[in-house]
Amino acid sequence: MLEGRPPGSIRVATVNLFARHGDWPRRREVLRAALRELDADALALQEAVVGDGYDSARELLGDGYEIVHQRTGLVGDGTHRGSSVAVRWPVRAVHEVDLHLTPRTWEYSCGTVLVEVDSPVGRLVVGSHGNSWAWWAERERELQAVAVVRRIEELVADHPAHVVLGGDFNAEPQTSSMRFLTGRASLEGLSTAYRDAWEGVHGDAPGHTLDPRNPLRDIEEPGERQGRRVDYVLVRCGDHGPTLPIADAGLAVSEPVDGVQPSDHYGVYADLLPPAGG
């Protein structure tokens, strides 16, 4: 059961919806209930299915959210399974970063959606990051992380804003792309720093979002028995740490109901406070 959020905070979460794989009719109801319990103000979603008048994110979330789906960089049969952002505040602007940056990305809908809103904690950019998924594609993930950071820096250069970037990053904390994003290494002559909300609250605790005990993992990674943490909520830092203090963070959309797992990934949430001094 999720804890109540601190007064004045906003809740941001990332959830991979796993398209409509598995027993979708039963999984849909479990997902819908879990998202209702999560009660996030902003969501970075991955693998929503959109097409022919159908929108799985809208079906799951219901009314009360503005939902923006990735439009560029989609591949496949035209059924959308890329990145999406859902927010409870009016959308001021939408930006996309096409992440097809090498010939090895052609088979996957790589892209990041960035949504600008006026939130209770100030001007806010919420992003859903959808990079290359394959275990061998860390070079692509490096280039994709750099491209997204460059675009975000352009957006906030003249109009300062808080930035929260969520997603299934397909990379563990020790990888070069995540070390870059969390300020532990530079890439391509660029450095940045985002606070990993889970780490900021739980330190080195595993926090696996890909759990071998989850039976849906066998669809994607048959026989894999090593847990991994690849889903994150990241908060952009200023000179002295994250511009929005992280009050709490944890796993979400993770518990089975009557043997039905919501998704093959566990979600992650972060409760963020207004900046110090207002």
For residue 89, the Cα-to-chain-centroid distance in whole angstroms is 18
DSSP E strands: which ranges in the chain? Answer: 10-16, 42-46, 50-51, 54-55, 66-69, 83-87, 91-98, 111-119, 122-130, 162-168, 194-196, 231-238, 241-242, 246-252, 267-272
- Please say if the pLDDT value at position 11 is more than 70: yes
Report pLDDT digits (tens) over 66-102: 999 999 888 877 667 799 999 999 999 999 999 999 9
What is the pLDDT, as a whole number, of residue 1? 61
> What whole-number percentage of the chain has pLDDT above 90?
87
pLDDT, one tens digit per residue, over 191-249 is: 999 999 999 999 999 999 999 999 998 777 787 789 999 999 999 999 999 999 999 99
CB distance 262 to 253 below 8 Å:
yes
By the 8 A CB rule, do 13 and 7 touch? no
At 78 the pLDDT is: 61
* pLDDT tens-digit map of 171-189: 999 999 999 999 999 999 9
- Residue 278, pLDDT score: 63
Structure tokens at 124: 């806010």
CA dist., res. 231 & res. 168, Å (int): 4
User: Position of tokens 């518990």?
Assistant: 255
pLDDT surpassing 80 at residue 13 = yes
35 band by pLDDT with thresholds 50, 70 and 90: very high
Q: What is the per-residue pLDDT for 163?
A: 98
The CATH T-level fold of domain 10-272 is Deoxyribonuclease I; Chain A (3.60.10)
* pLDDT band, residue 4 (cuts 50/70/90): confident
Round the average pLDDT of the chain to a whole number and report it. Answer: 95
Rounded to a whole number, what is the distance in angstroms from the first to the last CA of the chain?
30
Model pLDDT, residue 234: 99
Report how far apart, in Å, the C-alpha atoms of 195 and of each of 25, 148, 207 are.
37, 16, 15
pLDDT given for residue 88 in this prediction:
98
- Rounded to whole angstroms, the Cα distance separating 230 from 36 reads 23
User: pTM score, two decimals?
Assistant: 0.97
Query: What pLDDT is stored for residue 255 in this prediction?
Result: 95
DSSP string, 53-76: TEEHHHHHH-SS-EEEE--SS--S
pLDDT band, residue 44 (cuts 50/70/90): very high
